[in-house]
Structure 1
């Protein structure tokens, strides 16, 4: 009986424990089933998306960069095919052997090999690494022919920037280069390997407009990230074209006319402000920066005494010399310090205090008024004119004519030059203005400096009747061909406040400069009457001439070392009968403005008038390439 009771108790305990265990198991399985239901039903969309993203890789695609065109549609910067050779490490047993075999077909130097090995070590073995790019078609075809014997080598055809005119437009168009770390922004395009952005010139100023919008490609990949196949592709939006005011034919002529000289030339429409040529010589090949400039090339550009990387037209700051004299004369007339007929006798020098200020003509010019002073560029006349007027009045006139201020032209690195005043010297140098410095300013020397672009603007404002024309280098209307708006400057720009009768004195002097027998540039005049030009010569010293050198004339300017010679300048407008174009030329260390700069300006102005880019219709039916072949222009560009 006692045994049966104990057995029954044990049975009840076992049953109770079994029930508890069963209940716990049932609860556990219920929770598991609930979790599975939640994950597979409630969260189905979420995990389906995650699985899909693990299988599909979205990749950005670089858009085609917009072109840079001249005013008639000629391509100054475009895109060309980029033939590349790459290597996939997992597809070759010996990378070194493959690179050695490849070097027998194309150039693969030690630097390239080291770079390829570094990239292979950093990347997964199936990711292609670029060995060489921008290959010629012959080299690309050669590698393609031998590709069966080159395990792991892949061939690819992409796009890269191309500058067909090389040095001719280097300072205007600029160049593109790889994105630096400090240039990374919110645009994901900037993080793409090999992506290029504008680094200088129009390429930099209009970079966002030119670069376009990224496309994308959907790639199916495996668990290791290896591409299996492309599922979809959207090529994105090509960058917009940028149309310049430049005439490619005139720019090419200006560069050729500068020849071997270091200098600059600017041609400007005096009514619209269009810059028709902006030449800085020597230039550089912007393609070097796009494909990757080499150490020797970089050293060559940086050690060249002619400074090919400097855009002399907007960055070169030079004493304007005698090209400044029209401005000085106008300031004197407006201030009442001189009249057009006020006479100054030039005996070859002027004594002021303890100093003697010399005229360029040793024997002197005799009695001069304002027009004859400009005609023969008499220094003594303008010493006296500046002495009576004062630097502040001269500075005020200079600012109105466009000197001492940035023009706002859409190019990088423009310099403002310097127009001194009494307050400027006291604030910057901590010294009072000396009366003798007025005389030096009167002939465009001393502290005063200007860029060739500023001198062209000054000349344009004189020639258009005294209106504040502003230069531009990009066609904001995006139209090809001549300007459709042919209104004169008086209907476009505000007046700078010059009286017509005073302005006519300065213009008469410029006309007489290119007229025989006494004009300083008479020998460089344009002989055809319908193309006749008016202008002003200038020579500016780069070092002070000692009394001994002046008295003994030990060496002529052309016999001095190049760096010690005077700069040669010339400003002009044409045609005299109905002015339309202004031009400024500087030949660095060229010596005489009449001998070195005036003939260059004459030839450029004559060519400008024959081409007549402000009114010439486009000869081709559409945009053309550098070779003259018609090119396709995208809508809206």
Structure 2
């Protein structure tokens, strides 16, 4: 069979195109390989030479700048300040013990500094810098830098450390940071790599702890070149990371300072809340402490002094302290009874000085009794027997429900440490917590805020704001986060009978402004600024029948820890409520004598935005008030003065 001849003119163009394509691909590949060889051998030669020579390029984490904390007016409450520190890197130091011994000849070191540093170096990765000494002087930095060739792996660094400009004034609210401990790490499921850096500052209490994730920011990275003796030669790359978020609180720093100064000398707490927004303008605790002591790790001596103080300066009493609310709880019992229809405001009950229930006498604070009392007078005179009767008629379950509606027995969501829930007890509560049935005597005690009932100063302030406005006021401590406004705390109406609410407010007004009211001495006389309030005194000891027979021992004659707690709540101005205040003075005695004057002064400070004129006070109190204001000014200016006398 004859083969067909192929036309060369048809095949040749196809072969030429293939050869061109294949040649182009080969040239391109050779060019790419040549470019990459040039990059590796010339452009990156120094870098790879360093990597090959004993891993002399190190990667380090850069702590981000912690977010700042401000008050509502932009006053700084937590800042960062530059500090010098001496650090050592184990992998570059050779023999760390020998390197530290040489360092001790250059700058002063305590034996404990060296031991602690060696311990920290064993705990972290070899490339992580360990702080030998923090907050060193510029002279120390200069000496270390000048002797760098003889100090392998040891360098001076500048970093940021937390500082609290207001010191003790906002310690319990803002909280403090401290070095991350092994215990802290044990509580974390997936700790941030930043926590590997020894003495890295981490939020321990207060807003610093609750908003730690936002305030901390994200770590940066640094690639550095070191020579054969571990000295840093140059920085190759640097990524600063992301700074922490700035936070603005609802606190008014000036009012907060006043509250702390006004309570000096007491073991007490006070809360000021804006009735129109729920903003917490002041959350005071006395005594207090300097949070700057904790930033670098508190000394044993300072810790022992604070921890063993019987006035508990470390406790945030305003939110942690749960106290029997005493007579400040009577508005709760009255509203529960009148809302349910168990009693009307016009009903009267006779007070002979005691009420007998199941063979037990429950006494009124006024030994001779108040006689026939209606609701208005019961609150004005704080008659206990009236509420013993009312409490039995309405029952504990409805009292507890009203307490929770007004904010007691509720853990309010504020970013502070150990916020207490308090107790608004009912039948189920006792069955669960005490495995026992509720008894009538329990109701009698609860009706006047004793027995199982417990409330924090924060809850009492919320209760007062809700009574003043009739709205579901929720406390708010964070105003903005990274400039973004947070939701207001003014909620919907509570749904309570407004006529009854007006009667409660009017009775609270007469507590202060009626001549026979229990807080008449603490009234405000400035036009348009009158306040309404309620005193409270809660027992911390049992008074026996024998003691009553011979005469109840006065608080002044008892040891401090056995005296009654003094309580006070108020709102002002009466016609247009702006501020609600709650004060608790631990073992202060009577609420009218110890707590009400503090509440009055704080209220006036809030209303005037500074020290009020003496004309706001009754004329017979002005000389005393002038002296007190002078002492408070001295405290606020930082002078050391004796404890305040109660006004």
- Work out whether the TM-score is over 0.5: yes
Q: 1:495 to 1:451 in 2, by over 3 A?
A: same
User: What are the within-5 Å matches in structure 2 for residues 404-423 of structure 1?
Assistant: 404-423=409-428
Q: 1:146 to 1:176 in 2, by over 3 A?
A: closer
State the 1:239 CA deviation. 1.2
Contact between 1:278 and 1:313, CA under 8 Å: does it hold in 2?
A: yes
User: What are the within-5 Å matches in structure 2 for residues 474-493 of structure 1?
Assistant: 474-476=478-480, 492-493=490-491
> Relative to structure 2, which stretch is displaced further, 53-62 or 553-562?
53-62
Aligned to 1:540: 538
1:257 pairs, out of 238, 253, 262, with 262
State the 1:426 CA deviation. 2.1
Q: Per the alignment, in what secondary structure is the counterpart of residue 472 of structure 2?
A: coil
Q: Does 1:503 align with 2:501?
A: yes
State the 1:208 CA deviation. 1.6
Contact between 1:63 and 1:235, CA under 8 Å: does it hold in 2?
A: yes
Provide the rounded CA distance (Å) in 2 between the counterparts of 1:214 and 1:600. 46
2:475 pairs, out of 446, 471, 476, with 471
Provide the rounded CA distance (Å) in 2 between the counterparts of 1:543 and 1:588. 13
Q: 1:294 to 1:525 in 2, by over 3 A?
A: same
Aligned to 2:572: 574
Contact between 2:120 and 2:198, CA under 8 Å: does it hold in 1?
A: no
State the 1:438 CA deviation. 1.4
Q: Does 1:243 align with 2:241?
A: no
Provide the rounded CA distance (Å) in 2 between the counterparts of 1:602 and 1:327. 22
Provide the rounded CA distance (Å) in 2 between the counterparts of 1:123 and 1:432. 56
Provide the rounded CA distance (Å) in 2 between the counterparts of 1:101 and 1:125. 24
State the 1:566 CA deviation. 0.6
Q: Deviations over 1:134-183 (max 9, x none)?
A: 24xxx544774898699748544321011111211111111112233223
Q: Per the alignment, in what secondary structure is the counterpart of residue 270 of structure 2?
A: strand
Contact between 2:71 and 2:250, CA under 8 Å: does it hold in 1?
A: yes
Provide the rounded CA distance (Å) in 2 between the counterparts of 1:46 and 1:363. 100
Contact between 2:107 and 2:140, CA under 8 Å: does it hold in 1?
A: no
Aligned to 2:75: 74
Provide the rounded CA distance (Å) in 1 between the counterparts of 2:205 and 2:164. 14
State the 1:83 CA deviation. 2.7
User: What are the within-5 Å matches in structure 2 for residues 375-454 of structure 1?
Assistant: 375-454=380-459
> Relative to structure 2, which stretch is displaced further, 143-152 or 221-230?
143-152
Aligned to 2:176: 175
Aligned to 1:606: 604
Q: Per the alignment, in what secondary structure is the counterpart of residue 268 of structure 1?
A: strand
Aligned to 1:268: 273
The root-mean-square deviation of aligned C-alpha atoms, in Å, is: 3.4
Contact between 1:184 and 1:191, CA under 8 Å: does it hold in 2?
A: no
Aligned to 1:65: 66
Q: 1:319 to 1:121 in 2, by over 3 A?
A: closer
Q: 1:146 to 1:406 in 2, by over 3 A?
A: closer
Q: Deviations over 1:316-345 (max 9, x none)?
A: 110000000011111110111111111112
Higher relative contact order (CA 8 A, sep 6+): 1
Aligned to 2:589: 591
Q: Per the alignment, in what secondary structure is the counterpart of residue 606 of structure 1?
A: helix
Q: Per the alignment, in what secondary structure is the counterpart of residue 423 of structure 1?
A: helix
State the 1:212 CA deviation. 1.6
Aligned to 2:325: 320
State the 1:313 CA deviation. 0.9
2:356 pairs, out of 351, 356, 359, with 351
Q: Deviations over 1:589-632 (max 9, x none)?
A: 1110000000001000100111199xxxxxxxxxxxx99xxxxx
State the 1:237 CA deviation. 2.2
Provide the rounded CA distance (Å) in 2 between the counterparts of 1:381 and 1:280. 34
Structure 2 unaligned blocks of 5 or more:
1-29, 612-635, 638-647
Contact between 1:126 and 1:226, CA under 8 Å: does it hold in 2?
A: no
Aligned to 2:374: 369
Q: Deviations over 1:229-251 (max 9, x none)?
A: 21232322221100000000011
Contact between 1:317 and 1:417, CA under 8 Å: does it hold in 2?
A: yes
Q: Per the alignment, in what secondary structure is the counterpart of residue 494 of structure 1?
A: strand
Q: 1:343 to 1:402 in 2, by over 3 A?
A: same
Contact between 1:569 and 1:597, CA under 8 Å: does it hold in 2?
A: yes
2:302 pairs, out of 293, 297, 302, with 297
Q: 1:124 to 1:472 in 2, by over 3 A?
A: closer
Larger radius of gyration: 1
Provide the rounded CA distance (Å) in 2 between the counterparts of 1:144 and 1:256. 43
Contact between 1:76 and 1:173, CA under 8 Å: does it hold in 2?
A: yes
Aligned to 2:21: none
Q: Deviations over 1:463-506 (max 9, x none)?
A: 01x211111100147669xx999x9x9xx522222101111111
State the 1:514 CA deviation. 0.4
1:457 pairs, out of 454, 462, 487, with 462
State the 1:191 CA deviation. 2.3
Q: 1:57 to 1:498 in 2, by over 3 A?
A: same
Provide the rounded CA distance (Å) in 2 between the counterparts of 1:299 and 1:568. 28
Contact between 1:220 and 1:231, CA under 8 Å: does it hold in 2?
A: yes
Contact between 1:92 and 1:98, CA under 8 Å: does it hold in 2?
A: no
Q: Per the alignment, in what secondary structure is the counterpart of residue 473 of structure 2?
A: coil
Provide the rounded CA distance (Å) in 1 between the counterparts of 2:64 and 2:226. 23
Q: Per the alignment, in what secondary structure is the counterpart of residue 82 of structure 1?
A: strand
Q: 1:589 to 1:92 in 2, by over 3 A?
A: closer
Contact between 1:514 and 1:520, CA under 8 Å: does it hold in 2?
A: yes
Provide the rounded CA distance (Å) in 2 between the counterparts of 1:111 and 1:56. 31
> Relative to structure 2, which stretch is displaced further, 553-562 or 242-251?
553-562
Q: Does 1:132 align with 2:137?
A: no
State the 1:294 CA deviation. 1.5
State the 1:63 CA deviation. 1.1
Q: 1:362 to 1:418 in 2, by over 3 A?
A: same
Aligned to 1:565: 563
Contact between 1:346 and 1:366, CA under 8 Å: does it hold in 2?
A: yes
Aligned to 1:159: 160
Contact between 2:130 and 2:197, CA under 8 Å: does it hold in 1?
A: no
